[in-house]
Amino acid sequence: MKTIAIVGAGLMGRLIALSLYRQGYQVTLFDKDTKAAHQSAAYAAAGLLTPLGEAMHSESNIVEMGFISLKLWPKLLASLDEYTFFQQQGAIMISHEQDQGDYRRFARYLHNHYPQHRCQQLDRQQLLALEPEIGRSFNQGMFLPDEGQIGNRKLLLALKYQIEQAGIEWLSECLVESISPLDSGSNINYQENGQISQQRDFDLTIDCRGIGARNSANADKHTVLKDLRAVRGELFQLFAPDVHISRPVRLMHPRYQLYIAPKTKGFYVVGATEIESDDNAPMTVRSAMELLSAAYSVHPGFAEANIRQHVSQCRPAFSDNQPKIITRQHLIQVNGLYRHGFLIAPVVLEQVLQLVNNIHSGASNNNQCLYSNVLPISEDNEYIH
């Protein structure tokens, strides 16, 4: 049986670990975080599955992967025993009067670049028919009926439960110091609970550490991702039982798109700040004011909402904001999912699974894989020191 180490137990690490175990591989999962994953980028997310909503700020391959993933998510979730939240009831785009220019530019962009996807312009009455509690200042909107969302934290917990039920070896709160690809496999040096370093060999290692892939002081120089950077995101979790919004709402903003994502039982996530920084300090005053005032402008009932949590976390991104799978000997690095982790995860997962199977079956060209037309695959070390 082939042995595979997966380093990093965020969204991709958990999905890959469980999927490879189910295919018969012997999997060991390493992660510096606890199993609750509170330090992962996936925890500090809204779980939006809105490819058209991201279209003006993303390359076309991200949009394509998003629509493919929307079809793949239901099957993935159906394979889990624990409850997960998924809906595909569309999303709404709105703007204040002073931002109508940005709104019209977005509408033209979708019309010109994605005419094959459904998009409906709404007047005030049509807007109210979909979301009766939208604020009075919004007289028009856009309905994107194929968009959806997922319960990101519920999914992380469901994957945790499934991995534990499967009996997969999971070394949490474990610092991986280095990953060294070898001719016949790969070597991992790690510490548990600050104890003396240990070393283990595997047939293959899959590195899903996100920003952690650039910060390993003792890392093998051939595996450090030189082009990786951090993009800080911030969000609020609000409890507003008197607010009744049923689908994601995006609000045009001069600097970025703000979103309100309804969860279950009166909870909402408000976010979308995007700051070029690797600072994980608490949320800034500016971000807090912009996010909360935006939520209040969409629905005045948010004025009485309870702030249950504010979260800041760094997302991994390459200079071109493209996700990448990088192969080198017996090492696969999956990184740069940026702010699109949940949007494109199923496509990335299927690509990784096929790569692994190709490697272990001795396929002549490991990179000729499913979805290689939309997901960059590299083995030329372009992104590695």
pLDDT digits (tens, 9 = 90+) for 189-225: 999 887 888 999 999 999 999 998 886 545 566 678 8
For residue 191, the number of C-alpha atoms closer than 13 Å in the C-beta half-sphere is: 9
Q: pLDDT value at position 280? A: 82
Cα–Cα distance measured from residue 17 to residue 167, given in angstroms and rounded to the nearest whole number: 11
Q: For the whole prediction, is pTM greater than 0.85? A: yes
Both tokens of 302, joined, read 């948010």
Mean pLDDT of the chain: 91
Cα–Cα distance measured from residue 256 to residue 323, given in angstroms and rounded to the nearest whole number: 20
pLDDT digits (tens, 9 = 90+) for 7-25: 999 999 999 999 999 999 9
In three-state secondary structure terms, 132 is: coil
Both tokens of 353, joined, read 């699974």
Dihedral angle sign, alpha carbons of residues 285, 288, 294, 298: negative
In three-state secondary structure terms, 4 is: strand
- Going along the chain from its start, the domains and CATH numbers come out as 3-43+154-228+319-378 (3.50.50.60), 91-145+229-317 (3.30.9.10)
Cα–Cα distance measured from residue 245 to residue 243, given in angstroms and rounded to the nearest whole number: 6
Asked whether the predicted pLDDT for residue 336 surpasses 90, the reply is yes
Where on the phi/psi map is residue 302: left (φ > 0), alpha (ψ -120 to 50), or beta? alpha
Q: pLDDT value at position 217? A: 47
Q: Which are the contacts of 94, defined by CB distance < 8 A and separation ≥ 6?
A: 103, 127, 134, 138, 140, 141, 142, 249, 250, 251, 252, 298
pLDDT digits (tens, 9 = 90+) for 266-325: 999 999 767 888 888 888 888 899 899 989 999 999 999 999 999 999 999 999 999 999
Q: pLDDT value at position 221? A: 64
For residue 375, the number of C-alpha atoms closer than 13 Å in the C-beta half-sphere is: 30
